[in-house]
Amino acid sequence: DVKVTQSSRYLVKRTGEKVFLECVQDMDHENMFWYRQDPGLGLRLIYFSYDVKMKEKGDIPEGYSVSREKKERFSLILESASTNQTSMYLCASSSPGQGAAEAFFGQGTRLTVV
């Protein structure tokens, strides 16, 4: 069974903390994505990566950074957590190319910043 695994289902962090969200996939996918999901706003792309050590900004990169040192692992970093970063974070991976290569999602991390 193919899998995208996020390290935590629930996290509570304090304002100003540096927060790491980890995501691992076992499908040898080149592309990996981080989204945040908020009610009424759907999924918004934070960053994506199409190869090891490569990254591209998405629609809302401010306050976030990412790291991809190995193909299977894509980390999202909140440099200094703020309450407006309280959200559901979803990691996904896919294989590039034309045709219907779908994205596979992790189970999500619900982050609360207090």
Partner 1 sequence: GDSVTQMEGPVTLSEEAFLTINCTYTATGYPSLFWYVQYPGEGLQLLLKATKADDKGSNKGFEATYRKETTSFHLEKGSVQVSDSAVYFCALSDWDTGNQFYFGTGTSLTVIP
Q: Which residues bind partner 1 (CB under 8 A)?
A: 4, 31, 33, 35, 40-43, 45, 48, 50, 56, 58, 90, 92, 94, 96-108
**Shortest gap between Cβ of 80 and partner 1 (angstroms)?**
26
**Shortest gap between Cβ of 67 and partner 1 (angstroms)?**
20
Tokens of 24: 């691992």
Nearer to partner 1, 58 or 63 (CB): 58
**Shortest gap between Cβ of 39 and partner 1 (angstroms)?**
9
* Beta carbons within 8 Å of 34's beta carbon, 6+ residues apart: 21, 23, 45, 46, 47, 48, 58, 64, 66, 74, 76, 89, 90, 91
Nearer to partner 1, 12 or 82 (CB): 12
**Shortest gap between Cβ of 109 and partner 1 (angstroms)?**
10
